[in-house]
Amino acid sequence: MATQSFEGDFRLRSIKLYPVTNNTVGKAIDLKDLVGEITLKESVLSASLYCNIVLKDIEENLISKLPLMGQERIELVISAGQKEIRKDFHIYNIDGRVNEREESSIYSPLLQFRSTKE
């Protein structure tokens, strides 16, 4: 079991995407095994947290299977030391990246989202 070494270190417990179709929230999709990178930021200009997640969309083409429109909710659960933190976010942008390796054309989507108001 890895321990947290530095202030600000956290451990990802779960990350779930709740898709929206026909104004109805769908069944949660577990993204934990697909997370390649997470960046959390806070702004001095707003009360929101901002988060970017790069997914390892390993030839599953998740983005084309899900009709992501920007209304989806993401539930992020992390632990920092002994404290567990649960936050809800809403997607506001979906961007794409292509893997750096030339022999691979794996598409790695970047999901950008911000926290909901407290």
* Domain limits, the chain: 11-115
3-state secondary structure of 59: coil
User: How far apart are alpha carbons 110 and 58 in whole angstroms?
Assistant: 14
At the top level of CATH, the class of 11-115 is: mainly beta
Q: Decide if pLDDT at 49 tops 80.
A: yes
Residue-wise DSSP of 6-48: STT--EEEEEEEE-EETTEE---EE-GGGEEEEEEEE-SSSS-
Residue-wise pLDDT for 83-110, tens only, equals 898 999 988 888 866 555 555 555 577 7
Asked whether 15 and 36 are in contact (CB, 8 A), the reply is no
